[in-house]
Amino acid sequence: MILSEPTTTMKDADAILTLEIDGEIKQTRKGTRLLSALLANHAKLLKACGGQGRCATCHVFINKGMENLTPPTDQELMTLSIMKITQENARLSCQCMILGSGISVTVPKGKYVGTEAELEALIGQRAEQALFHPITGEVLVDAGKLILRSALQKLQTVNQEFDTAMRSLVTRKFMKEK
Ligand code: FES
């Protein structure tokens, strides 16, 4: 679900807030989408679904200040439930707006692999940084580890599991609406 930016009053628009990203204090404005604030500060997030809450490549961890974000959308809760990101402080940054100062965010450290071919081309090399699945954000290879064919198999398995989970979700939704 793409969230529309909330209507801001003149007072809101003037509200400069602070946001901590990986330990650095940055400024933002009330009503800013968290993803926009992170990208404006060069956070490396893939946003594979274009901000619709249907992947997990914009997920971050909220260390404090969760109450200063809008609550999770239904789409966000559904997506997080089928991804294997189980930390309670995980949020899809495209699905929340900043309401106040004092939010501290950790961006997962690593690189999102674009395609199977991209990962296959890296086999035999050592991962300079962790490699993440391009939809679920799962760690495929830890930083410093050799990239093996098993990482490619893991990516394919995660793809299959993801497709199965999505199909079952769509079927359940369809049955409910009938
Ligand atoms: S960009 Fe896909 S869920 Fe946020």
Tens digits of per-residue pLDDT, 24-61?
999 999 999 999 999 999 998 988 899 999 888 999 99
The answer to whether residues 46 and 96 belong to one domain is yes
CA distance 2 to 79: 13
**pTM summary value:** 0.82
Ligand 1 pocket mutation pick from 38, 39, 44, 57 by most atoms within 8 angstroms of CB = 57
The answer to whether residues 131 and 96 belong to one domain is no
For residue 129, being part of any structural domain is answered with yes
Domain count, the chain: 2
Range of the domain at 130: 111-177
Q: What is the CATH number of the domain that holds 56?
A: 3.10.20.30
For residue 2, being part of any structural domain is answered with no
The answer to whether residues 99 and 116 belong to one domain is no
Residues 69 and 34: beta-carbon distance below 8 Å: yes
Checking if the pLDDT of 71 tops 80, the result is yes
Pocket of ligand 1, beta carbon within 6 A:
47-49, 51, 53-55, 57-58, 92, 94
The answer to whether residues 38 and 93 belong to one domain is yes
Place of tokens 């501290």: 104
For 12-26, write each residue's pLDDT tens digit: 556 899 999 999 999
CA of 167 to the centre of ligand 1 (A): 19
Residues making up the chain, counted from first to last:
178
Residue where one domain finishes, among candidates 56, 87, 106: 106
The answer to whether residues 80 and 124 belong to one domain is no
